[in-house]
Every structure is written in structure tokens, then in C-alpha cells.
Amino acid sequence: MDVSPSRERMIPVGRILSPRGFGGEVRIEVLSDSPGRFAPGGAVFLRGRRLVIGRCSSLSRGRMTLALKGLYDRAQAEDLRGALLTVPEEMVPPLPEGHYYHFQLVDMEVFTADGEHLGRITEVLSTGANDVYLVAREAGELLVPALEDVVVEVDVGARRMVVDLPPGLRD
């Protein structure tokens, strides 16, 4: 699928860390949870340019090596340090109901069940037990646990979340 990145929201799936070898291969930090995202023959976008994946190494500690068709020497790869590999949002597989990608939640407005605006989600922290939403507000940051009894409603289309905060959490 050749999707034009200019018409779609682009989602980061990897970050180039460094060149690997002399043939244009790059080491990346994997930012995607989708199995097979970097399979040979797949495509990613790099600075608006569609590149096909030639080969990849196995994932180890959140990193892998990719050979991207169109990158052929170390100097090209060196210039890409820190660059993001992206895909159009429509290429991101859907999640089961009630589950959300972090990119869907960041910048979402957060309200109480009474309609009070608490702020905007600026980051999703993965703590191990459950995610925690970092909400920026005028009175400072608020940490909202991503728990069923706290998060009442999530409307991705409206970019709105409704929460029922336990006593003492708001202050």
C-alpha cells in the first residue's frame, strides 16, 4: 500500500539510533508493538519518503537493525541519526474495544464526570502494573491511573476522556 504521508496522520514506529556496518543499514529503537511491523517487504516513511524494508534483525531489548531499500552507504545512514520512521495512521492495526494506543490518548482533553475540565494528557507513563496519564493543568501536573474504575469514558474521535478521580487524587 503506497499511502501519501501528506494526507494522513503519521505515527512513529521507530527511531534511527545509528548506522550499522557500511551498506546503509541502521540500528533503530522500536516504537511499535505490532508484530511484523518491520518484516521484509513492508514499508515505512522516513522524512516523507516511502522506503521498503529489505531485511531486519530480530528484536533484542527494544532495538533491531534494518536494511532499507534506498539507503546504500554509511554516510547516508549517519545523517539519519534521531530521525523517526513513521507509518500512516490507517496502517496501524485496530485494538480491541477499550484499548488504546498512546498516540491516540496524547493531547486528549480530560474532564470529570461533572464536566469540570482537568487538563490535557501530555504523556502516557507505562509503570508495569497499569499506565498512568500525565495531565497538564493550570495548577500543575495531575497523574491519572488508567484503571477501569477511574477512566469512565474515552472518545478518541472527540479527543475527550471522562474520569472519576478517587478522593484526594485531584489536589
The closest of 90, 87, 73, 93 to 21, measured between CA atoms, is 73
pLDDT of residue 3: 46
Residues 68 and 139 in one domain: no
| Plot region of 24 (φ>0 → left; ψ -120 to 50 → alpha; else → beta) | left
Beta bridge partners of 160: 109, 155
| Same domain, residue pair 80 and 110 | no
CATH number for the domain including 144? 2.30.30.240
Radius of gyration (C-alpha) of the chain in whole angstroms: 19
Q: What confidence score (pLDDT) does residue 94 get?
A: 86
Answer whether 0.85 is exceeded by the pTM: no
Per-residue pLDDT in tens (0 to 9) along the chain, 171 residues: 444 455 678 999 999 999 998 888 999 999 887 878 999 999 999 999 999 999 999 888 889 999 999 888 999 899 999 999 999 998 888 888 888 988 899 999 999 999 999 999 999 998 888 999 999 998 899 999 999 999 999 999 999 999 999 887 765
10 Å Cβ neighbour count for 160?
A: 13
Helix %, strand %, coil % for the chain, to 5? 5, 45, 50
pLDDT of residue 21: 87
Which residues, other chains included, contact 90 with Cβ-Cβ below 8 Å and sequence gap of 6+? 3, 8
Residue 170 lies in a domain: no
The CATH number assigned to the domain holding 87 equals 2.40.30.60
Torsion of CA 65, 19, 73, 56, to 10 degrees: 0
4 domain residue, yes or no: no
Does 1 fall in a domain?
Answer: no
Same domain, 64 and 83: yes
Specify if 154 maps to a domain: yes
Among 61, 91, 121, residue at a domain's last position: 91
- What are the cell numbers at 85? 520512521
Same domain, 39 and 63: yes
Q: Does residue 5 lie within any of the structural domains?
A: no
| DSSP 8-state code for residue 82 | T
Tally of domains in the chain: 2
